[in-house]
Amino acid sequence: MNFQQLRIVRETVRRHFNLTEVANELYTAQSGVSKHLKDLEDELGVELFVRRGKRLLGLTEPGKQLLPIVERILLDTQNIKRLSEQFSQQDTGHLALATTHTQARYVLPVVVTRFKQTFPKVHLELRQCGPTEIVTLLRAGQVDIGIATEAVGGEADLVTFPFYQWQHALIVPDDHPLIDVQPLTLEVIADYPLITYHHGYTGRSRIDAAFARAGLTPDVVMSALDADVIKAYVELGLGVGIIAAPAYHPARDAGLRLLDAPSLFEINTTYLALRRGHYLRDYALRFITDCVPALSVEQIKAAVFPKVAIA
């Protein structure tokens, strides 16, 4: 048994048993991938994969029980490397974050600036993607920290910490009639074409839920992945925008007006997400505590590496 065999097992599951994709991802030949898997099965004395001819269709029961062990072994192998780097290269390294456009554009710049001033030699990789992809990247060990409102909560293999809370608000051109309407209600808003986030992004489900509770079906004429696109089309007069309130800046968004409507939509919470068991270097821990000053390094470590009670 060797690490390459374990990597191939893990990647085979991640690539939905497509050995061509596995070979491409691991920079090896497909015949080599097949041989490694067969050699591992021969060594263990059990079949790990359900086969139809040369095709793999899924995991057998032994394969299903083996997979989490493989994941733990490979994660701990990565942790050993990170631990050694912690002591040999204390002020240099690489920190990978995955987050949505709203967080990257409007929330994180202050934290990132402070972090880079403290750790100028740490390369900061910022990936912008959707919540589901953030979870995938965390599980694959390709990023250290995920920041999102959706998808990251309730996952057994992830640890989450509340980052900050926010609400949706309306955005309209400076001369829009809604500016003079008091009070703003969902019934009034539903009379206008709406532009807001795509399903699965930036609290869209809570927007839909608010209208549904009121028995209304809004006319969402456009949806987008980020607030900048929404604002661009609101400015063109194509509809009333519903965006995350932190995504509005009066100086940058000249010509647009933000209409707060705190009673109309639920409060949203954006979370910092970490993979359970993923070793974090000191500068990663510092980034997290810069985001949430009330959170201590000890609390983070205790959540990521929970102690197992021994009977």
46: its two tokens: 């059990």
Is residue 231 in a domain? yes
Which of 46, 81, 116 terminates a domain? The answer is 81
Based on the fold, state whether residues 202 and 115 are members of the same structural domain. Answer: no
Based on the fold, state whether residues 175 and 152 are members of the same structural domain. Answer: no
Based on the fold, state whether residues 112 and 145 are members of the same structural domain. Answer: yes
Give 122's strand partners: 93
Is residue 227 in a domain? yes
Q: Does the pTM exceed 0.85?
A: no
Based on the fold, state whether residues 107 and 137 are members of the same structural domain. Answer: yes
Q: What is the CATH number of the domain that holds 114?
A: 3.40.190.10
- Look at the chain and report how many structural domains it folds into: 3
Based on the fold, state whether residues 52 and 127 are members of the same structural domain. Answer: no
47: its two tokens: 């079949």
Q: Is residue 121 scored above 70 in pLDDT? A: yes
Domain region containing 206: 168-266
Which of 81, 109, 131 terminates a domain? The answer is 81
Based on the fold, state whether residues 158 and 174 are members of the same structural domain. Answer: no
For 272, list phi and psi in degrees, rounded to 5. -90, 130
Q: 72 and 276 in contact (C-beta within 8 Å)?
A: no
Is residue 58 in a domain? yes
pLDDT tens digit sequence for 242-271: 999 999 999 999 999 999 888 899 999 999
Question: Of the candidates 65, 77, 78, 76, which has an alpha carbon nearest to the alpha carbon of residue 13?
Answer: 65
Is residue 310 in a domain? no
pLDDT tens digit sequence for 177-207: 999 998 899 999 999 999 999 998 888 999 9
pLDDT at residue 87, rounded to an integer? 67
Cα separations in angstroms, 22 against 30, 47, 55, 138 = 8, 19, 13, 19
Q: 280 and 138 in contact (C-beta within 8 Å)?
A: no
pLDDT tens digit sequence for 125-175: 999 999 999 999 999 889 999 999 998 988 889 999 999 999 999 999 999
Q: What percent of the chain has pLDDT over 70?
A: 97
For β-strands 268-275 and 158-166, DSSP reports them as: antiparallel
Based on the fold, state whether residues 228 and 257 are members of the same structural domain. Answer: yes
Q: 70 and 196 in contact (C-beta within 8 Å)?
A: no
CA 7, 8, 13 angle in degrees (round to 5)? 100
Is residue 30 in a domain? yes
Task: Count CA within 13 A, CB hemisphere, residue 268.
Answer: 24
